Amino acid sequence: MKCEQFERLIALEVEDDLPGNQKIKLTAHLAACGSCHRFAEELRDSQTALRRYSIDDFDEGLLAGIRQNVLSEINNGNIGHSYWDHVARWLGISDFRRFAWAMSGIAGVLALAAAFGIVVVIRSDKTIRVTAQVPKLEVPGSGPVSSSSGGGGVKKRIRQVSHKQSNATCKPSTFDEAVAVNRMGDVDSKTNAEGATSDLGNSVAEAPIIPQKDVTRIEMRTSNPNIRIILLVDKNEGKKPNAPPAAALFSSE
């Protein structure tokens, strides 16, 4: 530690303001350093001169003039309690300004928190994803239908049907037309083809033509946008115990 740094410690020590541990260090240095020892003596003289700088002897006229000026300001009503002073007093607060700043700060923090919460809610992903499991449909005469290769074959046929039907009607909407489509899917069916076909054949042969008004059309979309499932349910199905429900797989292409 250099002598210049010890000067600050000496300045505290002359008025007994130096903490204990630093006092020990300084005392050891002063014992060894003549320059700092002289500095300490000179600083004590300076402090003595400083303490003699006391101006307590004031003219009574000066003091009376100060009191008079203050009291005349008070009597003139220039120094009064503002509205906020009364509010502060009513609230039991000593400093209304500080209270107002504190309340403003709290209000600001709450406003920021509310804004942040609103932003979080708005930006949250509200998309609801629903995954529908498409059951495998067993179309009479064509075996289980899925969206794989079998479906592709069906699609082609459906396209043909659609093309054929486009001249006549928009979509197959009767039970009869749906059965006609199913019949065309016989070639690609792998499983239970014969049985299904025979069933279909039997069912087709025996199935009567049902008027449109008696058919309930249920259209279901699948995860594949190109595949829709349309169920045509005979409203009179319950009345005919052996009538099989018919289902058709239609492509939107």
Partner 1 sequence: MQTETVSLGIIINSLGHGADEAASVDSIIARAKAGDNRAFEALMIKYQRQVIGTSLRLLGNLEDARDAAQEVFLRLYKYLHTLDETRQIEPWLYRVTVNVCRDLGRKRAASIHVSLEAEISSGLSDRLSSTTDIEGDLALAQEQQIIREALETLSEKERSALVLRDLEGLPTEEVAKILGSSAVTVRSQISSARVKIKKYRDRILRRRQK
Q: Which of 3, 24, 28, 63 binds partner 1 (CB under 8 A)?
A: 63
Q: Which of 25, 37, 38, 89 binds partner 1 (CB under 8 A)?
A: 89
| 15 contacts partner 1 (rule: CB under 8 A) | yes
From the list 223, 217, 225, 226, the residue with the least C-alpha distance to 248 is: 217
Q: Which of 28, 95, 113, 212 binds partner 1 (CB under 8 A)?
A: 95
Q: Which of 3, 66, 91, 106 binds partner 1 (CB under 8 A)?
A: 66
Nearest approach, Cβ of 19 to partner 1 (angstroms)? Answer: 9
Nearer to partner 1, 94 or 148 (CB): 94
Q: Site residues for partner 1, window 28-47 (CB under 8 A)?
A: 42-43, 46-47
Q: Which of 20, 32, 34, 51 binds partner 1 (CB under 8 A)?
A: 51
Length of the chain (residues): 253
- Phi/psi region, residue 192 (left: phi>0; alpha: psi -120 to 50; beta: rest), is left
The contact set with partner 1 (CB under 8 A) reads 7-9, 11-12, 14-15, 17, 42-43, 46-47, 49-58, 62-63, 65-67, 69-71, 73-75, 79-81, 85, 88-89, 94-95
